[in-house]
Amino acid sequence: GQQLNQSPQSMFIQEGEDVSMNCTSSSIFNTWLWYKQEPGEGPVLLIALYKAGELTSNGRLTAQFGITRKDSFLNISASIPSDVGIYFCAGQGNNDMRFGAGTRLTVKP
Protein backbone atom coordinates (compact mmCIF):
# COMPACT_ATOMS: atom_id res chain seq x y z
CA GLY A 1 0.00 0.00 0.00
CA GLN A 2 0.86 3.68 -0.03
CA GLN A 3 3.59 4.78 2.34
CA LEU A 4 3.56 8.42 1.36
CA ASN A 5 1.13 10.93 2.84
CA GLN A 6 0.35 13.60 0.30
CA SER A 7 -1.67 16.73 1.04
CA PRO A 8 -3.88 18.38 0.25
CA GLN A 9 -6.08 15.84 -1.49
CA SER A 10 -7.54 18.51 -3.75
CA MET A 11 -7.23 22.22 -4.39
CA PHE A 12 -9.51 24.72 -6.13
CA ILE A 13 -7.69 27.93 -6.94
CA GLN A 14 -8.04 31.02 -9.08
CA GLU A 15 -5.81 31.51 -12.09
CA GLY A 16 -2.71 33.44 -11.06
CA GLU A 17 -2.59 32.09 -7.51
CA ASP A 18 0.35 30.14 -6.12
CA VAL A 19 -0.06 26.51 -5.09
CA SER A 20 1.78 24.42 -2.54
CA MET A 21 1.53 20.69 -1.89
CA ASN A 22 3.65 18.32 0.15
CA CYS A 23 4.48 14.74 0.91
CA THR A 24 5.72 13.05 4.06
CA SER A 25 6.90 9.53 4.60
CA SER A 26 7.82 7.22 7.44
CA SER A 27 10.66 5.90 5.25
CA ILE A 28 13.81 7.54 3.97
CA PHE A 29 14.12 7.88 0.20
CA ASN A 30 17.19 8.42 -1.97
CA THR A 31 15.23 10.30 -4.61
CA TRP A 32 12.03 12.33 -4.51
CA LEU A 33 10.06 12.94 -7.68
CA TRP A 34 7.01 14.93 -8.64
CA TYR A 35 4.73 13.83 -11.47
CA LYS A 36 1.66 15.24 -13.17
CA GLN A 37 -1.06 13.04 -14.59
CA GLU A 38 -3.85 14.10 -16.93
CA PRO A 39 -6.95 12.04 -17.76
CA GLY A 40 -6.26 8.96 -19.88
CA GLU A 41 -2.51 9.38 -19.69
CA GLY A 42 0.35 8.08 -17.62
CA PRO A 43 2.22 10.29 -15.15
CA VAL A 44 4.80 12.68 -16.59
CA LEU A 45 7.89 13.63 -14.60
CA LEU A 46 8.06 17.30 -13.55
CA ILE A 47 11.00 17.47 -11.16
CA ALA A 48 13.47 14.96 -9.70
CA LEU A 49 15.40 15.63 -6.47
CA TYR A 50 18.51 13.65 -5.60
CA LYS A 51 20.01 15.16 -2.45
CA ALA A 52 18.66 16.06 0.97
CA GLY A 53 18.06 19.79 1.15
CA GLU A 54 18.10 20.19 -2.63
CA LEU A 55 15.88 22.92 -4.03
CA THR A 56 15.15 22.66 -7.74
CA SER A 57 13.10 24.78 -10.12
CA ASN A 58 11.55 23.98 -13.47
CA GLY A 59 9.89 27.08 -14.85
CA ARG A 60 7.05 28.02 -12.49
CA LEU A 61 7.59 24.85 -10.46
CA THR A 62 9.86 24.63 -7.43
CA ALA A 63 10.42 21.52 -5.33
CA GLN A 64 12.55 20.70 -2.33
CA PHE A 65 13.94 17.47 -0.92
CA GLY A 66 13.60 17.63 2.85
CA ILE A 67 16.67 17.49 5.08
CA THR A 68 15.38 14.38 6.85
CA ARG A 69 14.87 12.69 3.43
CA LYS A 70 11.33 11.90 4.56
CA ASP A 71 9.48 14.79 2.98
CA SER A 72 9.21 17.03 -0.06
CA PHE A 73 7.11 19.93 -1.26
CA LEU A 74 6.12 21.26 -4.65
CA ASN A 75 5.18 24.87 -5.33
CA ILE A 76 3.54 26.16 -8.50
CA SER A 77 3.64 29.92 -8.95
CA ALA A 78 1.19 32.03 -10.95
CA SER A 79 -1.06 29.10 -11.87
CA ILE A 80 -2.61 28.88 -15.33
CA PRO A 81 -5.56 26.78 -16.56
CA SER A 82 -3.29 24.13 -18.12
CA ASP A 83 -1.88 23.35 -14.66
CA VAL A 84 -5.08 21.38 -14.05
CA GLY A 85 -4.39 17.73 -13.31
CA ILE A 86 -3.35 15.35 -10.57
CA TYR A 87 0.08 15.83 -9.03
CA PHE A 88 1.85 12.88 -7.45
CA CYS A 89 4.90 12.77 -5.27
CA ALA A 90 7.03 9.65 -5.46
CA GLY A 91 9.90 8.40 -3.37
CA GLN A 92 12.52 6.01 -4.67
CA GLY A 93 14.65 3.93 -2.34
CA ASN A 94 16.96 1.13 -3.39
CA ASN A 95 14.34 -0.76 -5.33
CA ASP A 96 10.78 0.21 -6.06
CA MET A 97 9.18 3.63 -6.33
CA ARG A 98 6.29 4.56 -4.01
CA PHE A 99 3.67 7.14 -4.95
CA GLY A 100 1.46 9.38 -2.88
CA ALA A 101 -2.30 9.37 -3.42
CA GLY A 102 -2.16 12.59 -5.43
CA THR A 103 -3.32 16.20 -5.22
CA ARG A 104 -6.09 17.08 -7.67
CA LEU A 105 -5.63 20.67 -8.84
CA THR A 106 -8.45 22.69 -10.38
CA VAL A 107 -7.68 26.18 -11.71
CA LYS A 108 -10.56 28.55 -12.32
CA PRO A 109 -9.93 31.12 -15.07
Rounded least distance, CB 13 to another protein, Å: 20
- Amino acid found at 17: E
Cβ proximity to another protein, 77 vs 104, nearer residue: 104
- Could you tell me the smallest distance in angstroms from the CB atom of residue 54 to another protein? 13
Q: Compute the distance between CA of residue 9 and CA of residue 55 in angstroms, rounded to an integer.
A: 23
Question: What is the three-class DSSP state of 82?
Answer: helix
Binding residues for another protein (CB under 8 A): 1-2, 4, 6, 30-31, 40-45, 48, 50, 88, 90, 92, 95-102
Whose Cβ is closer to another protein: residue 85's or residue 102's? Answer: 102
CB of 45 to another protein, least distance (A): 5
What residues have CB less than 8 Å from 41, skipping those under 6 apart? none
Between 40 and 109, CB nearer to another protein: 40
Q: Residue 36 forms beta bridges with which residues?
A: 44, 87
Q: How far is the CB of 88 from another protein (least distance, A)?
A: 5
d(CA 35, CA 58): 12
Angle value at C-alpha 5, between 3 and 6, nearest 5 degrees: 135
